[in-house]
C-alpha cells in the first residue's frame, strides 16, 4: 500500500542521515527535534512539527532515533508525546533502549491500539549516510512487513522475530562485540607501539590475518591512527549499551566475565574524559597509562 506521511523524531548524528535517506527515497516526512536548527539541512523537503504529538497527528507510522531509553519513554508517553497524537498506529524505535524498555513500551502502547516495533541500527554515522545500516527489526509480523519497504532506504533490514525486544537484544549483542573488539585492539596496539612496532603495519597485518575486526578495518585507520577521533558515536552511549547488555545477560542468568571486564574499560574511559567524548578516544587512557601514543597515517 502507498504510505502517506512518515513521522520522524530525533535528527541527531544518526537520525539526520537516516531521515535524509528516507526523503531521497521519496517518502514524505513530518519531522520534530527539540533543536529547531536541526531541521535546517532539510530545507523545504519535509514538514516540520513543533512536538511529538503533532508528528503523531500527521502520520500513522512514527519513527524515533533518540540517544537514551528515558528520552524515548518521555517522547512516547510525556506531555505532547506520541501517545497524545491522533493518527499514530505504528511506533518504530530506531534507538538502542534494551529489551526491557522495548517490551514495556510495546505493552503500554498495545493498550492504546498502537503496535510497537523495535528496529535498532548498526553501522555508525558512515553507514547511516550511505544507507547501508544493519536494521534489526522485531515485533508483529504484519506491521513489520508494512514498515520494511520504508526501512529499506536506511539499510539492510533483518527481521529478528515477532517478540518485542528481540531486535534490541540483537543490537546489544552487536555492540558488546564491537566494544570488545575496540578495547582489545586498543590494548594490543599500545603494547605493539611500546615495543617499537609501526601502527600502520600492525593494522595491515591484523587485517590480513585472524585478528581482523571492525576496529582494525574501520575505526583505527579512519579515526584513531590519524588522531582525528571523529567517529560520531559518544563514548557515554557505548557505556550505556554495555550496561544494557550486561543487565540483559544477568536477567537471563548468562555469564558475562569478558563483557564485564570490557564494561570496566569503557567506564574507566568515561570517568577520565566524560560521556560526551567520541568513543574512538578510549585508546587515549590506555596510552596515558602505558606512556606511549599510537600514531599512524590515515588511509
Neighbour count for residue 151 (Cβ, 10 Å):
22
What percentage of residues in the chain have a pLDDT greater than 70?
99
Q: Are residues 89 and 157 in the same domain?
A: yes
Element (H, E) at 35: none
Coil, strand or helix at 9: strand
Query: Alpha-carbon distance 52 to 248, whole Å?
Result: 29
Close Cβ partners of 5 (under 8 Å, ≥ 6 residues apart): 28, 29, 30, 47, 58, 59, 60
Determine the Cα–Cα distance for residues 233 and 236; give it in Å rounded to an integer.
9
- Give the residue carrying C-alpha cell 566475565: 257
The three cell numbers locating residue 67? 540517544
CA distance 19 to 7: 10
End residue of a domain, out of 163, 187, 210 = 163
Q: How far apart are CA 127 and CA 134, in angstroms?
A: 8
Q: Is 51 domain-assigned?
A: yes
The verdict on 121 and 182 lying in the same domain is no
Active site residues: 171
| Beta-bridge partners for 219 | none
Residue 1, pLDDT above cutoff 90: no
Specify the pLDDT at position 46: 96
Q: What is the pLDDT, as a whole number, of residue 296?
A: 87
| C-alpha span between 18 and 21 (Å, rounded) | 5
Number of domains comprising the chain: 2
148 and 180 fall within a common domain: no
Q: Are residues 200 and 181 in the same domain?
A: yes
CA distance 186 to 180: 10
pLDDT in the model for residue 204: 98
CATH number assigned to the domain comprising residue 264: 1.10.1040.10
Using the 3D structure, point to which of 134, 163, 192 is the last residue of a domain: 163
For residue 175, tell me if it sits in a domain. Answer: yes
Question: How far, in Å, CA of 287 to CA of 31, rounded?
Answer: 42
148 and 175 share one domain: no
Based on the fold, state whether residues 73 and 129 are members of the same structural domain.
yes
| pLDDT category of residue 277 using cuts at 50, 70 and 90 | very high
Asked whether residue 198 is assigned to any structural domain, the reply reads: yes
Residue 253: left (phi > 0), alpha (psi -120 to 50), or beta?
Answer: left
Residue 225 has pLDDT above 60, yes or no: yes
- pLDDT tens for 18-62 read 999 999 999 999 999 999 999 999 999 999 999 999 999 999 999
pLDDT of residue 102: 97
The answer to whether 166 and 158 are in contact (CB under 8 A) is no
Establish if 244 belongs to a structural domain: yes
Residue 81 domain flag: yes
> Residue 299: pLDDT band by 50, 70, 90 thresholds?
low
CA 146, 149, 155: angle at the middle one, nearest 5? 130
Confidence of residue 250 (pLDDT cuts 50, 70, 90): very high
Mean pLDDT over each residue of the chain, to the nearest integer: 96
Assess whether 248 and 149 both reside in one domain.
Answer: no
The pLDDT-based confidence of 297 (bands split at 50, 70, 90) is confident
Q: Which residue has the cell 603495519?
A: 201
Identify whether 299 is part of a domain.
Answer: no
What is the helix, strand, coil percentage profile of the chain, to 5? 55, 15, 30
* CATH number of the domain bearing residue 139: 3.40.50.720
Please indicate, yes or no, whether residues 195 and 227 belong to a single structural domain of this protein. Answer: yes
The last residue of one of the domains, among 111, 136, 163, is 163
Q: Is there a single domain that holds both residue 285 and residue 219?
A: yes
Q: Is the pLDDT of residue 191 over 60?
A: yes
Query: Which structural domain, as residue segments, surrounds residue 250?
Result: 169-290
24 and 144: one domain?
yes
Q: How big is the chain, counted in residues?
A: 299
296 found inside a domain? no
* CA distances from residue 62 to 10, 130, 287 in whole angstroms, order as listed: 11, 22, 44
Judge if 120 and 180 occupy the same domain: no
Give domain status of residue 298, yes or no: no
Domain match, 140 and 187 both: no
The pLDDT-based confidence of 216 (bands split at 50, 70, 90) is very high
Amino acid at each position: 500500500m502507498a504510505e502517506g506521511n512518515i513521522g520522524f523524531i530525533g535528527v541527531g548524528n544518526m537520525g539526520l542521515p537516516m531521515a535524509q535517506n528516507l526523503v531521497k527515497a521519496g517518502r514524505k516526512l513530518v519531522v520534530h527535534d527539540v533543536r529547531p536548527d536541526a531541521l535546517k539541512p532539510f530545507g523545504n523537503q519535509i514538514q516540520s512539527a513543533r512536538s511529538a504529538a503533532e508528528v503523531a497527528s500527521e502520520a500513522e507510522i512514527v519513527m524515533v532515533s533518540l540517544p537514551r531509553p528515558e528520552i524515548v519513554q518521555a517522547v512516547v508517553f510525556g506531555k505532547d508525546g506520541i501517545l497524545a497524537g491522533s493518527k499514530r498506529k505504528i511506533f518504530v524505535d530506531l534507538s538502542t533502549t534494551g529489551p526491557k524498555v522495548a517490551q514495556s513500551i510495546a505493552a503500554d502502547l498495545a493498550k492504546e491500539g498502537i503496535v510497537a516495533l523495535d528496529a535498532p541500527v548498526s553501522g555508525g554515522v558512515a553507514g547511516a549516510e550511505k544507507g547501508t545500516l544493519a536494521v534489526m527489526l522485531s515485533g508483529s509480523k504484519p506491521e513489520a512487513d508494512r514498515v520494511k519497504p520504508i526501512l529499506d532506504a536506511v539499510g539492510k533490514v533483518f527481521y529478528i522475530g515477532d517478540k518485542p525486544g528481540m531486535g534490541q537484544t540483537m543490537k546489544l549483542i552487536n555492540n558488546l562485540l564491537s566494544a570488545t573488539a575496540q578495547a582489545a585492539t586498543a590494548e594490543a596496539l599500545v603494547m605493539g607501539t611500546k615495543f617499537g612496532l609501526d601502527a600502520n603495519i600492525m593494522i595491515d597485518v591484523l587485517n590480513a590475518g585472524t585478528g581482523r575486526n571492525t576496529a582494525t578495518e574501520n575505526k583505527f585507520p579512519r579515526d584513531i591512527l590519524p588522531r582525528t577521533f571523529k567517529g560520531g558515536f559518544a563514548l557515554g552511549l557505548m557505556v550505556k549499551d554495555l550496561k544494557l547488555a550486561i543487565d540483559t545477560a544477568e536477567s537471563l542468568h548468562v555469564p558475562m566475565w569478558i563483557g564485564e571486564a570490557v564494561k570496566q574499560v569503557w567506564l574507566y574511559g568515561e570517568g577520565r574524559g566524560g560521556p560526551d567524548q567520541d568513543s574512538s578516544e578510549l585508546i587515549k587512557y590506555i596510552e596515558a597509562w602505558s606512556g606511549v601514543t599510537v600514531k599512524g597515517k590515515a588511509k
